Amino acid sequence: MPENTPLRSTQSTPAAPKIEHFVADVEQTPLQATDSLNEQAAPLSMWAEAWKNLRRQPLFVISALLILLALVVAFFPGLFVQVSPTQCDLINSNEGPSGGHPLGFTLQGCDVYARVIRGAQASLAVGVFSTIGVVIIGGTLGAVAGYYGGWIDAVLARLADIFFALPLILGAIVINSLPYVREHRSVWTVVATLVVLGWPQIARITRGAVIEVRNADFVVAAQSLGVSRVKALLTHVIPNSLSPVIVIATVSLGIFIVAEATMSFLGIGLPGTVMSWGNDIASAQTSLRDNPTTLLWPALALSITVLSFIMLGDAVRDALDPKARKR
pLDDT digits (tens, 9 = 90+) for 81-122: 888 888 888 888 878 888 888 888 888 888 899 999 999 999
**168 Rama sector, left if φ>0, alpha if ψ -120 to 50, beta otherwise:** alpha
Q: How far apart are CA 313 and CA 256, in angstroms?
A: 14
87 located within any domain: no
- CATH number of the CATH domain containing 211: 1.10.3720.10
Show the domain range for 295.
106-320
Phi, psi of 230 (to 5 degrees): -65, -45
Q: Is 212 domain-assigned?
A: yes
Per DSSP, helices labelled H in the chain are: 31-34, 46-54, 58-75, 112-148, 150-164, 168-176, 179-183, 187-213, 217-224, 229-232, 242-265, 277-284, 293-320
Largest CA distance in the chain: 121
Q: Any residues with CB less than 8 A from the CB of 127 and at least 6 apart, and which?
A: 253, 254, 256, 257, 260, 309
> Is 3 inside a domain boundary?
no
Count of domains observed in the chain: 1
Higher per-residue confidence, 94 vs 5: 94
Computed over every residue of the chain, the mean pLDDT equals: 83
Tell me how crowded residue 182 is: count the other CB atoms within 10 A of its CB: 12
Q: How far apart are CA 149 and CA 253, in angstroms?
A: 29
- For residue 45, is it within any domain? no
Q: Is the pTM of this model over 0.95?
A: no
List pLDDT tens digits, range 70-87.
999 999 988 998 888 888
Examine residue 48 and state whether it is found in any structural domain, yes or no.
Answer: no
Q: Domain for residue 34, yes or no?
A: no
pLDDT of residue 45: 66
